[in-house]
Amino acid sequence: MPPGAGARRDRDAPGKRTGIDAVRSVPFLLVHLTPLLLIVTGVSWRAAVLFAMTLWGRLFCITAGYHRYFAHRSYKLARFPQFVLAFAGTTAAQKGPLWWAGHHRVHHRFADTPRDLHSPTQGFWWSHVGWILSDRYAATDLDSIRDFARYRELRFLDRHDWIGPWLLAFVCFAVAGWKGLVLGFFCSTVVLWHTTFLINSLAHVMGRRTYETDDTSRNSVVLAVLTLGEGWHNNHHYWPSSARQGFRWWQWDPTYYGLQVLSWLGLVRELRRVPTWARARNHADRSTGRDRSRPDRRGPGRPTVAIAAGGVAGDAVLERGPADAGEGSAPRDRYRASG
């Protein structure tokens, strides 16, 4: 049986929801109680600086690394910077890069259908955190992330995703003592978790639709500010392979700004952007959220938009045409079964 086949077969049962994994859920829930320790430890300026650095630094590693790089391949990295970004992402305590990106690709393939891992149509709690705590999605679906699973160092990080968080916790303690550990690590981790999870639970519910897509994704300036630009979710579902999710100059996207700086330094290459012609097409009807000129052709469980030009997405790969040769893949690219 190929790697991840069992997880894929289980996932392909539409609408199936299994119970919460108690072993993994108890530590997750206990971490939410650690802010109460501030009553004992107090707060210092050094710990407060650590809080800001670990919150925004790790959030960038999730948005720029786990999401825009590993899940969507919106730019290129050399192998060593790729490893550094993956390791830095593990410090966010959101499991390994292969687990995170592989499951996110499945979300895009089946967005808002019964096969979507965390559609808000299944309820706020499930889309926000329930699916993460479910034993159904505990394993890494390697079939969905085969392009990166070939790197042994990434497989190592995915298997030992505890190393990054523990190392960061030790550093916070070394820098600012118990105050640094509680505020700089535990408190920032809790805030980081729920800031990230808001995209799953609210970005398909709150905001406006600019583009017609086969899902309920929306753009929200509030979520964009909170998540370093991830709140332009309708833009993202319309053109997933773009490293820039804020398509307009006024759409706040600090993740892209950071990637642009890294490209000037030569660390990031071939940043993908949505083509100018694509920004002017497929605008949604603001009153209904859909393009009046396009019927809803999606059936239950039908794959939706593309992952990235040439990217592997589970048991489907992009069938590319001449129009894909430029920046990014067309949002209506079809899937074909891979051999």
Q: Whose CA is closest to 90, among 194, 169, 3, 195?
A: 169
DSSP 229: T
* pLDDT above 80 (res 305): no
The backbone torsions φ and ψ at residue 336, rounded to the nearest 5 degrees and listed phi first, read -135, 150
* pLDDT above 70 (res 23): yes
Q: Model pTM?
A: 0.81
Q: How far apart are CA 103 and CA 105, in angstroms?
A: 5
Q: How far is CA 54 from CA 24, 135, 144, 241, 331, in A?
A: 23, 29, 29, 27, 35
Q: pLDDT (tens digit, 9 = 90+) per residue, 163-195?
A: 999 999 999 999 999 999 999 999 999 999 999
* pLDDT above 50 (res 295): no
DSSP 284: P
In percent, the amount of the chain with pLDDT more than 90 equals: 68
Cα first-last separation, the chain: 15
Torsion of CA 72, 25, 130, 87, to 10 degrees: -10
Q: How far is CA 247 from CA 55, 76, 226, 232, in A?
A: 25, 20, 17, 8
Weakest mean pLDDT among 124-133, 192-201, 276-285 = 276-285
74: tokens are 């919106």
315-323 long-range contacts, Cβ below 8 Å, gap at least 24?
A: 315/8, 315/143, 316/109
CB 8 within 8 A of CB 314: yes
CB 290 within 8 A of CB 212: yes
Q: pLDDT (tens digit, 9 = 90+) per residue, 82-91?
A: 999 999 999 9
